[in-house]
Amino acid sequence: MLGWVRRGFQRAYERVLRREIGDGPTHVAIIQDGNRRYARKHGDDASDGHRAGAETTEQVLEWCEELGIEELTLYTFSTENFDRPPEQQEALFDLIEQKLYDFADADRVHEREVSVRAIGEVHMLPDRVREAVEYAESRTAAYDGFTLNIALAYGGRAELLSAARDVCRAVESGTLDPSDVDVEAVDERLSRKPVRDVDLIIRTGGDERTSNFLPWHANGNEAAVYFCAPFWPEFSKIDFLRGIRTYESREKSWQRTRTERAVALVRAVAEVELADARAVSGRLRGQLPSSGADEVSAELERRTQESRTEQSAD
């Protein structure tokens, strides 16, 4: 009886959260922490915790589809994980290999046209895992309905260092002019394939740090971050929806700040030259949500009316 009541409450709360969420993020990245601690909590082996976490991953894919999220990146195996005991590494490699083949052959992956990609220093992985990566990528290469990035042998600092070295080599060889070193030049040298900027990072397991995860795509985009206590196998749809709500709250605050800055800029320019203010206003309106664009237009109109009043008085 108590379990039925609890499930009913959870479903009701999910509906409440869902109504509070608008369009949501485009790209969510998740640090799946707590698999081993979950296993210890239940008296199981670490591999059992990772298998339980893999089930959560499949649920998250369904939630992303429900919410219209277009890209998901999962921090599956970091470069630091190579420091774990060999038997733990082998168990993880077994699971990663199996899941890559499972994803590549799953009907729902092909029905939804999911593109499975690995990012990170994949060459550092065992041959069998690399073969599974190649199989999953080749089987889903033509799809663009949804993008699933599996971060394997991944480290954000190493990724940036590798991109910087590639840029230096290109400049030294003469294939890249120093004046052409820009965001795009770095972006195309990150990981094995570029990914969208990250809108939201979720970390489970209670730790409040992003652990060197996607620094270029997340920090550069000022992504929202949601930390939560449940271990990854315990991560629920309610936790996921709370993360999305955190993103939307953060996004609304950021949009408000950008609008205030845009209005202040138009006001400052208009005090010097109204024609310049119109040009600035036109550019800014295209970078703001409709409400922000309306505020910029209202400020410009107010300044225009003040200018006309001053001219009439003269």
The domains of the chain, with CATH numbers, are: 23-235 (3.40.1180.10), 254-312 (no CATH)
Does residue 33 carry a catalytic annotation?
yes
SS3 73: strand
Mean pLDDT of the chain: 84
Residue pLDDT, tens place only, 16-58: 777 777 778 999 999 999 999 999 999 998 888 999 999 999 9
**The residue type at 72:** L
Selected catalytic residue, list 81, 212, 219, 221: 81
Q: Where are the beta strands (DSSP E) in the chain?
A: 27-31, 71-78, 114-119, 146-154, 200-203, 224-227
Residue pLDDT, tens place only, 195-232: 788 999 999 999 998 888 998 888 767 788 999 999 99
Does residue 207 carry a catalytic annotation?
no
Burial class (CB in 10 A: 0-12, 13-18, 19+), 145: middle
**pTM of the predicted model as reported, rounded to 2 decimal places:** 0.77
Any known ligand binding at 211?
Answer: yes
Any known ligand binding at 18?
Answer: no
Any known ligand binding at 40?
Answer: no
